[in-house]
Amino acid sequence: MNAETVQTISPERDLNLSFAVSDHLEDSLTEDATIRKLVEQTQTFGLQLHGNTIHNFLTAYPEVEGVVIMDGGKPTGLVMRNDFYQKVGTRYGRELFMNRPIKLIMNPHPLIVDISVDIATIGLIAMNRDQSTLYDLIIVTDKNEYAGVVSIKRFMIELSKNRGKEIELLRVQKDILYQSKLQVESKNSELSEKNNSFKNLLDNADQGFFSFGSDLIISEEYSSGCMQLFGDAIGGKNFTDLIEKHVPDDIKRSILLILNHVFSSEKTLQQKIYLSLMPSEISINAQVIRIDYKIIQHFSQKKVMLILTNITDKKNLEMQAAEERKNLAMIVKAIAEKSDIKLAIEEFKHFIHKRSPVIIASSTEPATELCRLVQLHKNDFAQLGLHNTAKALHEMEDFLASMMRQPDEKSKTLLESVTATWNANSILQDDLLVLTNALGKNFFEKYERLYVSREKLLEAERKIEMILAGEERNETLQQLRSFRYSSLKDSLNQYEDYVYAVAKRLTKSVKPILTGDDILVNMDIYNLFIKSLAHLFRNMIDHAIESVEERIIAGKSRLGKIHCHIADHGDSFSLSIFHDGRSPDNDKIYQKAIEKAIISPEEAIVMSREKIYEMLFMESLSIKDGVTMISGKRVGHSSVKTELDRLGGKIRVRSEIGKGAGFEFLIPLTERHQHPL
């Protein structure tokens, strides 16, 4: 970086001063001239500790530049943050260094100086280090015992202070200095060498530095790292033009607004607050760059300095670690719930290749129906840990949602062409590759499943009724019919992990509770309704259950609850799902319903609370602002209502302000299995 010119003289020029220099001025120059007052403390680690210990520490304390490695109470090496992640970030760096002694990656020959050495001598030694260690910390000892470290940044600040003292001494003694042109040129030459040394230091700091004033024009003084990042000279360019292709338009507008406030404010605290709103990370030419902002005074002009650090390797390591954690969870889930995953895959393949073409050909609203079913399968795979498949289905869901908003002939043609390209194996391939690599190619084929159609089972029941009689007939029928029935409680219990997973993602604490009667039901009839309840659980956690802080302020327990209760009524059953979070926002439901022309303002005034809440099950109404992987596509509650209508069921909405809300579903029991549980 092109450093500002500093008016100073070298220590050797003291020889040119008159012997009349006062003792007081000489004392002011040499006072605290050692490195003692610059010493800071940093973390130390033993020589045999592994690299992952250093990684954990550096991750926890991002402001730390480096750590000192000790052997028997004495400093023996140095690990700098940038050097550590450059080595660990190489192709085999993680395997080579993370679980092996840190001595394999440390600098075994750091600069170590005694606390009594003067600053000038240390400066000479530090500036003549190898380029790769020029910006490393200086280790300081006191009588051969570790005392601390000195950063190059603070060292340079101290040099500047000492130069200030020299300038003061120069002014006092200016009448006795040589006034010749040759001496002036000599001083300028020496100063140029120092500036070049400082520029060399910053250019090799593995960072980019540049600054601009209120006109946003970048100064000609910037580090060579900026050239490498942007691929061109940046001096004289407008800052917003420089980053225009690297940030969205709305972010660019925000940056302009923030910088306007920074330069118009005279209060340091306000300036810092405004700068904290600037983007801290951006992508420049496929590199992830962290940006730190500083306010500096350049003569009388206020400037903003940007310090750019390439953290691409670190980000890649973090993403790789997160991906590995997800894959490990998926593998564990596959082992524990092998049959469920296989069944989900089979049902998904049937949906993609058999059912979706029928929906395209026959449905009046194919995008809506496909979106609802895709969301059901996405929920299934998310619960089972197949995160790549769930992500792919989320993208399909986005596309279908856009088709729902444009129900014209052109969109229908596009929908047909896109769905014709859907391939279940392609969508599943990333997750299946992870599972087969970890568990073997034949993992899902290590057992046989016998498939018998519902029609064949019913035919067998009719033959048994005709052929057998008495107790033998009853027992045989009960056993045969049990193949078609499942426990309703078992079906709902599958949502326990799902509730915990969604709550964790939303940083909330929620406990699901299931009580009441257990009923054996024909899942051919009730399966889609049970699956649609995922929308209900998800929306309750997202919209209704408060954060821990909000619950404490409201006088509630830290742990939110979603309570499911089953009641057997003979020829029907009821399923109640209630939460103890906040009640639905009446005003917001009114507003959205009026905006969608579902009701008039006059109807809203006289509408009961229960009727208001029932509007949440309308497909066209969503009170969620924005669409995420969690909720907001307007097919959540309406999907439950669609399946409930298919069963001939009813909904009762109940809410108590301050205590929670929920729904009671009254559902006919079309087929009942009498075998006792």
Query: In sequence order, what are the residues at sequence separation of 6 or more whose Cβ sits closer than 8 angstroms to the Cβ of residue 581?
Result: 540, 544, 545, 546, 560, 660, 661
Q: What is the pLDDT of residue 30?
A: 46
Query: Number of structural domains, the chain?
Result: 4
Q: What is the pLDDT of residue 660?
A: 86
What would the mean pLDDT of 496-523 be, rounded to a whole number? 88
Q: Are residues 611 and 589 in the same domain?
A: yes
Between 159 and 3, whose confidence is greater? 159
What would the mean pLDDT of 369-373 be, rounded to a whole number? 89
Q: What Cα–Cα distance (Å) separates residue 481 from each residue in 269, 448, 492, 520, 652? A: 74, 21, 21, 10, 32
- Is 317 inside a domain boundary? no
Tokens of 442: 């034949």
Domain range for 597: 486-668
Q: Are residues 289 and 192 in the same domain?
A: no
- Is 481 inside a domain boundary? no
* 443-488 pLDDT, tens digit each: 766 544 555 666 777 777 787 788 878 887 777 777 777 677 888 8
Model-wide pTM > 0.75: no
Q: Of 431, 451, 471, which marks where a domain is finished?
A: 451
Whole-angstrom distance, CA of residue 420 vs CA of residue 325? 34
Q: In the structure, what pLDDT confidence band is assigned to residue 215 with cuts at 50, 70 and 90?
A: very high
Q: What is the pLDDT of residue 604?
A: 63
Q: Are residues 210 and 348 in the same domain?
A: no
- Is 465 inside a domain boundary? no
Tokens of 307: 């310090």
Q: Are residues 73 and 222 in the same domain?
A: no
Residue 434 confidence (pLDDT) above 70 = yes
Q: Are strands 510-516 and 520-522 parallel, antiparallel or unpaired?
A: unpaired
Cβ atoms of 281 and 291 closer than 8 Å: yes
* Percent with pLDDT over 90 in the chain: 29
Residue 5 confidence (pLDDT) above 50 = no
Q: Of 196, 216, 249, which marks where a domain is finished?
A: 196
CA-CA-CA-CA torsion sign (8, 13, 14, 17): negative
479: three-class secondary structure by DSSP: helix
* Percent with pLDDT over 70 in the chain: 79
Whole-angstrom distance, CA of residue 190 vs CA of residue 167? 15
Q: What Cα–Cα distance (Å) separates residue 371 from each residue in 412, 494, 531, 628, 635? A: 14, 22, 14, 15, 8
Q: How much is the mean pLDDT over the chain?
A: 80
Q: Are residues 646 and 561 in the same domain?
A: yes
Cβ atoms of 588 and 624 closer than 8 Å: no
Q: What is the pLDDT of residue 137?
A: 93
Q: Are residues 642 and 521 in the same domain?
A: yes
Q: Are residues 525 and 636 in the same domain?
A: yes
Q: Of how many residues is the chain composed?
A: 677
Query: In sequence order, what are the residues at sequence separation of 6 or more whose Cβ sits closer than 8 angstroms to the Cβ of residue 649?
Result: 529, 665, 666, 667, 668
Nearest to 43 by CA among 53, 34, 29, 33: 53
Cβ atoms of 289 and 308 closer than 8 Å: yes
- Is 474 inside a domain boundary? no
What would the mean pLDDT of 368-383 be, rounded to a whole number? 89
Cβ atoms of 381 and 389 closer than 8 Å: yes
Tokens of 648: 């001939």
- Is 174 inside a domain boundary? yes
Q: What are phi and psi of 121, to 5 degrees?
A: -65, -45
Q: What is the pLDDT of residue 17?
A: 37
Q: Are residues 578 and 644 in the same domain?
A: yes
Nearest to 311 by CA among 59, 490, 60, 133: 59
Least confident span in 305-314, 573-582, 666-675: 666-675
Within 10 Å of residue 327's Cβ, how many Cβ atoms? Answer: 19
Tokens of 250: 């709305």
What would the mean pLDDT of 398-408 be, rounded to a whole number? 85
Whole-angstrom distance, CA of residue 644 vs CA of residue 664? 11
Q: What Cα–Cα distance (Å) separates residue 619 from each residue in 50, 204, 398, 530? A: 56, 59, 16, 19
Residue 635 confidence (pLDDT) above 70 = no
Q: In the structure, what pLDDT confidence band is assigned to residue 12 with cuts at 50, 70 and 90?
A: very low
Q: The domain spanning residue 656 has which CATH number?
A: 3.30.565.10
Q: In the structure, what pLDDT confidence band is assigned to residue 155 with cuts at 50, 70 and 90?
A: confident
Q: Are residues 374 and 436 in the same domain?
A: yes
- Is 457 inside a domain boundary? no
Q: The domain spanning residue 65 has which CATH number?
A: 3.10.580.10
Cβ atoms of 499 and 544 closer than 8 Å: no
Q: What is the pLDDT of residue 331?
A: 83
Residue 509 confidence (pLDDT) above 80 = yes
- Is 139 inside a domain boundary? yes
Q: Of 176, 196, 216, which marks where a domain is finished?
A: 196
Q: The domain spanning residue 247 has which CATH number?
A: 3.30.450.20
Whole-angstrom distance, CA of residue 642 vs CA of residue 647? 9
Q: Are residues 300 and 330 in the same domain?
A: no
What would the mean pLDDT of 81-95 be, rounded to a whole number? 86
Q: In the structure, what pLDDT confidence band is assigned to residue 561 with cuts at 50, 70 and 90?
A: very high
Q: Are residues 344 and 416 in the same domain?
A: yes
- Is 321 inside a domain boundary? no
Q: Are residues 20 and 97 in the same domain?
A: yes
